[in-house]
Structure 1
Amino acid sequence: MDDFGRRDWLRGVGLGLGVGITGTAAGKTLPGRKLPKPWTPDHGTWATPRFDPKNTAYSVNATPPTDSPTVAWTADVGTEVRSIAVTDGILFVGGEKAVVALDAESGTERWRHRGTAGTVAVRDGTVFAGGHDDEYSARALAAADGSVEWANERQYERCYHLLPAEDWLFVGAHSEVRALERDSGEVRWRFPTGLGDRGVALADGRAYVGQPGPAVALESRPLLGELTRDRPRVAWESPGPAFGLAPVRVGGHVVVADGEDGPYNGGHAGYLYAYDADSGAEQWRQKVEMNALAPAVHGDTLFAPGLTYDDVARPGVVRALDARTGAVLWSTRLPRWPSGAFGAGDLLLVGGGNRGTPGVTALDAETGGERWTVETDDDTDALAPVGDTVFAGSRAGTVYAIR
């Protein structure tokens, strides 16, 4: 046994002798070892950028307008909008300069917290914000007034993805996935990865990591392992993709989009890869476009946005795929690059704007036919459909309530 293993063993034995097998002296479970269970979103919420712990990006209970929508209100938040989370009638807007809380009915500002927030999530009265400035990379704010509960500092470490679950907070950072204590920000463990975008999905006792390089499944260790190791073990590692984005759990598969820029990836970019959730074996792959984005999922259907760098009139696309086989069910071209696809009831909502007029387009989820489009003042990267409203945020700093 090497020195590291011996130290962990002695520490584990000490924990076991001092506090018993099931907890600490305070009655808590052993920190950082056993992965949390996923949660089911409450009605009328959009708590994370991709809706839920499986990253489905689809709210079946939302009822956005199916035709002739109107803009109920707009709000200028004074910062480029990157992410929106919604709960209890409040929008939490993450931007390049601030986190801003807005009343969902009127757009009235409730509070503002200055600091970079490229991604936000909300759970149990706390707003979690991840940024990439030189002060902090993750922090917790009270949803009621924006006061700081804690800040996890890591200079110049960009944060891409946040997922709260039980008393955990998973942070997809530029060089690693970090598991934090949700109440304090204390680091439970780190899982180092390649440099770049990454995300985490939770399902069936595992955490699935999409990252630059292979997708990875992490699982809780047996009891002895929980006592003697700092982080979950690797259950499997996939052979690809080259630049995996946020993983999506659907049926018995884990689906990952390869988001590497097409011209620089030897012709392998722009695919969706489906892996067996138990073993990591590749089940199928399907080309979306020159570049692929993370898909939304409802039932056995994946909705995969993509884009081309070619000079064409309709450079964006959404393809509906059978999640079991990867077969294409329908395909719709768009007059702009999409920024993502988000499901709501019977609609698929696609934001975007680069290489075309910026806006939000609603597609029929069954057929791919266009239902409506609302133009915006700049590229629209953040969408959150809640109830009968689609909330959208633009890079110009405008938040739209579309009903």
Structure 2
Amino acid sequence: MKFTKETRNAGRGRRDLLSVAGAALATGLAGCSGALERDGDGNGNENEDGNDGDSDSGSDGDSTDAAELRETLAAADPYRMHQYGPSHVGNAGGAGPTSDVDAVWTFREGADDSHYEIGTPAVVDGTVYVPENHSVGDDGAETVVYALDGATGEIEWEWTYPRGTAFGSTVVAEGAVVLGLGGSVVALEADAGTERWRLERDFSDAVTVADGTVYAINTTYADPPTLVAIDLETGRERWTEPLADERMFWPTPPAVADGTVYQGGVELTALSTADGERLWSKDFGNAVTGPPTVTDDACYVPLGDGTVAALESDGTLRWRQSVERGGRGSGLHPVSSPAVADGTLYVTSAWRLTALDADDGAQRWTTETAGDRPPVVADGVVYASGLNVMEAYDGAEGDRLWRYETDASSSSGDKVAPVVGETAFFPSAGLHALRGADATSD
């Protein structure tokens, strides 16, 4: 099953351009460099012209298959926000597809329009929540947030923001869908798509939700930029705290764990969730390029000089390790937000995927990849995605397991392809629900 509509993104203002520029800093301009070369790996994922992302549902008309998939997705651990939760560990908590994949459905098809944009989805209780930009009339644009049936891609509800704009990762928590859109933070009711509240400032599109609080950055044009804690139920401010003074600030989504907010930008700042009190800050001499990943005993920070730093809970440096980068992209050396599982850290840097020992930063393996976005891990398999390619790798050795391609030619932002219920949801010229070919051929 697929849904198609000619789309393009228009009307981005100064704040939206800055948001895209900040994402480019964090990704080394990776998302806007055009289609990557297809290498024809022989895994059965490409036809003569390459996989164009037009796959119809493999179970079209088969209500039994759809019901089984819906049940599987509803029972799986959810993907609520960037890297699964407020601590951003990037671990799915269940299995994903390990062999060649097919699209069981594709929502929209934006490959014919270079201005089309679809965001990182959230997947909760069998429903997929995702924002999309598309054109309206001859020269207008709007952003629409959709709730989709995770088994079929059919629309359950939609909510329209009146202009096309940049957006961050979708967040779903405590019955609300939360997004940064066009300088606003918007909360929608997850079951109906009605607006709960909207707070209009000059917010970055990077938001995180934890324990009933939305954390958002009143952004670069604020003087100084501030972290704002917002009540998820009412939209009222709980507290604000300045983040950087007299310096350009590129905000990343905050990470939240054990009563502490970790905010990246020109430095890493740790604040109390109770009142915003600054606990400590760490200046690495280089910008933080993605949200930190927080585990029980460490905070892992990706940096713009091509290194990853591991900190103790009090901000003491445990180790700092250089990460190999691929040979493509800009001259920048940013590292993605890490995913952590079973004592191993997984990061991408300019089309290279690297596994590091979480205890000491030692490299375990590294390999070239078509993915440049933050990876995720599911049951020992690492999933890396990029502009028009998603790949899966054995987490222990780095061997590639499968590869899926689309015809996407442009995109922006630091998207993630989450894995939930043995299904990978790949945002690339539309949203593709990918499952193992054996599971889609019955």
Counterpart for residue 84 of structure 1? 121
* Contact 1:95 1:118 survives alignment (8 Å): no
What is the CA–CA distance in structure 2 between the aligned matches of 1:361 and 1:337, rounded to whole Å? Answer: 7
Answering whether residue 148 of structure 2 is matched by residue 102 of structure 1, we say yes
Distance 1:94 1:49, change over 3 A: farther
Count of equivalent residues: 322
Distance 1:172 1:86, change over 3 A: farther
* Contact 2:77 2:93 survives alignment (8 Å): no
Answering whether residue 379 of structure 2 is matched by residue 349 of structure 1, we say no
Residue aligned with 1:343, SS: strand
Distance 1:241 1:76, change over 3 A: farther
The within-5 A match list for 1:213-252 is: 213-219=266-272, 231-240=275-284, 242-244=286-288, 245-252=290-297
Counterpart for residue 41 of structure 2? none
Answering whether residue 232 of structure 2 is matched by residue 185 of structure 1, we say no
Counterpart for residue 338 of structure 2? 295
Counterpart for residue 58 of structure 1? 91
Counterpart for residue 305 of structure 1? 348
What is the CA–CA distance in structure 1 between the aligned matches of 2:107 and 2:315, rounded to whole Å? Answer: 45
Match of 1:364 among 384, 394, 397: 394
Q: Deviations over 1:135-161 (max 9, x none)?
A: x52011011221101001114x3322x
Q: Deviations over 1:58-101 (max 9, x none)?
A: 1122x222112111111107651122101111100023422111
What is the CA–CA distance in structure 2 between the aligned matches of 1:299 and 1:241, rounded to whole Å? Answer: 30
Counterpart for residue 143 of structure 1? 190
**What letter corresponds to residue 254 of structure 2 in structure 1?**
V
What is the CA–CA distance in structure 2 between the aligned matches of 1:85 and 1:214, rounded to whole Å? Answer: 28
Distance 1:158 1:201, change over 3 A: closer
**What letter corresponds to residue 433 of structure 2 in structure 1?**
A
Answering whether residue 172 of structure 2 is matched by residue 130 of structure 1, we say no
**What letter corresponds to residue 216 of structure 2 in structure 1?**
V
* Contact 1:121 1:129 survives alignment (8 Å): yes
**What letter corresponds to residue 86 of structure 1 in structure 2?**
V
Residue aligned with 1:158, SS: strand
The within-5 A match list for 1:153-192 is: 153-155=200-202, 157-160=203-206, 162-174=207-219, 175-192=225-242
Cα root mean square deviation, aligned: 2.1
Counterpart for residue 71 of structure 1? 103
Counterpart for residue 385 of structure 1? 419
Answering whether residue 157 of structure 2 is matched by residue 111 of structure 1, we say yes
Residue aligned with 1:50, SS: helix
- Structure 2 residue runs of 5 or longer lacking an equivalent are 1-73, 111-115, 134-142, 220-224, 326-332, 436-442
* Contact 1:241 1:257 survives alignment (8 Å): no
In the TM superposition, what is the alpha-carbon distance from 1:109 to its structure 2 partner?
1.2
In the TM superposition, what is the alpha-carbon distance from 1:348 to its structure 2 partner?
0.8
Q: Deviations over 1:248-285 (max 9, x none)?
A: 11342211111x3xxxxxxxx111111111x2111111
What is the CA–CA distance in structure 1 between the aligned matches of 2:272 and 2:299, rounded to whole Å? Answer: 14
Counterpart for residue 322 of structure 1? 357
What is the CA–CA distance in structure 2 between the aligned matches of 1:196 and 1:241, rounded to whole Å? Answer: 14
Q: Which has the larger radius of gyration?
A: 1
**What letter corresponds to residue 87 of structure 1 in structure 2?**
V
What is the CA–CA distance in structure 2 between the aligned matches of 1:121 and 1:399, rounded to whole Å? Answer: 17
Residue aligned with 2:188, SS: strand
Answering whether residue 261 of structure 2 is matched by residue 207 of structure 1, we say yes
In the TM superposition, what is the alpha-carbon distance from 1:242 to its structure 2 partner?
2.0
TM-score by length of 2: 0.69
What is the CA–CA distance in structure 2 between the aligned matches of 1:75 and 1:326, rounded to whole Å? Answer: 39
* Contact 1:48 1:121 survives alignment (8 Å): yes
* Contact 1:159 1:173 survives alignment (8 Å): no
Counterpart for residue 250 of structure 2? 196
Percent sequence identity over aligned pairs: 27
What is the CA–CA distance in structure 2 between the aligned matches of 1:170 and 1:367, rounded to whole Å? Answer: 37
In the TM superposition, what is the alpha-carbon distance from 1:170 to its structure 2 partner?
1.4
- Structure 1 residue runs of 5 or longer lacking an equivalent are 1-40, 222-230, 261-268, 308-315
What is the CA–CA distance in structure 2 between the aligned matches of 1:82 and 1:209, rounded to whole Å? Answer: 22
What is the CA–CA distance in structure 2 between the aligned matches of 1:302 and 1:69, rounded to whole Å? Answer: 25
In the TM superposition, what is the alpha-carbon distance from 1:392 to its structure 2 partner?
1.1
* Contact 2:204 2:216 survives alignment (8 Å): no
Q: Runs of 4+ in structure 1 displaced over 6 angstroms? A: none
Q: Deviations over 1:97-137 (max 9, x none)?
A: 22111110000111221224332100122111112x2xx52
